[in-house]
Amino acid sequence: VNEKFFDVMTSPVTAEGETIGILHCVTDITELRKSELDYRELVDIYAEAVIALKNKEQTFQNSRDAFFNMLEDVSETYKELEYLFIGLVRAMVNALDAKSPWIKGHSENVAMYAEKIAREMGFDEEEIKDLRLAGILHDVGKIGTYDYLLDKPSKLTNEEFEIVKKHPAQGAKILEGIKQLKDIVPVIRHHHERIDGRGYPEGLKGEDIPIGARILHVADSYDSMTSDRPYRPAPSREYAVSEFKKYSGIQFDRKVVEAFLKVLKDGGLSSKEKNN
């Protein structure tokens, strides 16, 4: 009969007064007797290894906490810079509004209309945020326009209109050095382009015109058509709607016009619009 002999030992494993495991040792000592190394020593070695690992884990946890704290600090700093940036944008718009009572509030209206169109067309929140900012800043190039042209009580001459036509490119040039605005600079530059290619400053046609610029063109035109000007009172909303239908696919993007007319039909109007 072949007999086998085993040496069995079970011992708790503790670290910092806490039981973190159980060590169960089974040794075949039929031919190999206990070594000189006591099993207690083996347990101690194992426990020391566990403690070392636990210390490493704590060090990692501390490092991770410090990293996330740093991220929170960076996030707060970024928010403060963003608020400062928005404040500067508002200051630029206020400076533009101060040039003429006839354009006061125009930028905010265009931004609001553009946002509504974009939502109707299914834009995501980041795209809507950018488009609203583009709406607020779309006429910033008029800061370089002669004040008398903004308040002229009669229609502009061809020469005067050529001066005004420079404002989209001038606005883009003013803003192109600001990193946070790089995505909306093309929208501002091309918001007076026409679908038929007869717009300005570059005469882009159809889908070569950025979609944001096509939306701003509708929003800008609507606010202009339904606002008082030195040379005429504000036309009715019905007049503006008829103009959009007439020039859809010619001056204005069809899909953008459809979206905006749906917004109007569904009652997405401000108090300013309701008065027209």
pLDDT tens track for 181-190: 899 999 999 9
Phi-psi category of residue 234: left, alpha or beta, with phi > 0 → left and psi -120 to 50 → alpha: beta
Q: Which CATH number is correct for 99-274, 1.10.3210.10, 1.20.1250.20, 3.20.20.80, 3.30.1490.190?
A: 1.10.3210.10
CA 239 remoteness from chain centre = 35
Reported confidence tier of residue 75, pLDDT bands at 50, 70, 90: low
216 CB-near residues (< 8 Å, 6+ apart): 110, 114, 131, 134, 135, 138, 187, 188, 191
Dihedral sign, CA of 231, 233, 234, 236? negative
- Number of residues that this document lists for the chain: 276
Query: Residue 19 belongs to what H/E stretch?
Result: strand 18-28
pLDDT tens track for 208-267: 999 999 999 999 999 999 988 877 888 888 999 999 999 999 999 999 999 999 999 888
Task: Please write down the HEC assignment for all residues of 106-162.
Answer: HHHHHHHHHHHHHHHCCCCHHHHHHHHHHHHHCCHHHHHCCHHHHCCCCCCCHHHHH
Q: In whole angstroms, what is the distance from residue 256 CA to residue 124 CA?
A: 16
Q: Which two tokens stand for residue 187?
A: 């929208």
> Using alpha carbons only, what angle is made at residue 204 by residues 203 and 208, rounded to the nearest 5 degrees?
180
More confident residue, 226 or 64: 226
Q: Tell me the domain boundaries of the chain.
A: 6-67, 99-274
Q: In whole angstroms, what is the distance from residue 204 CA to residue 223 CA?
A: 23
Would the pLDDT of 54 be above 80?
Answer: no
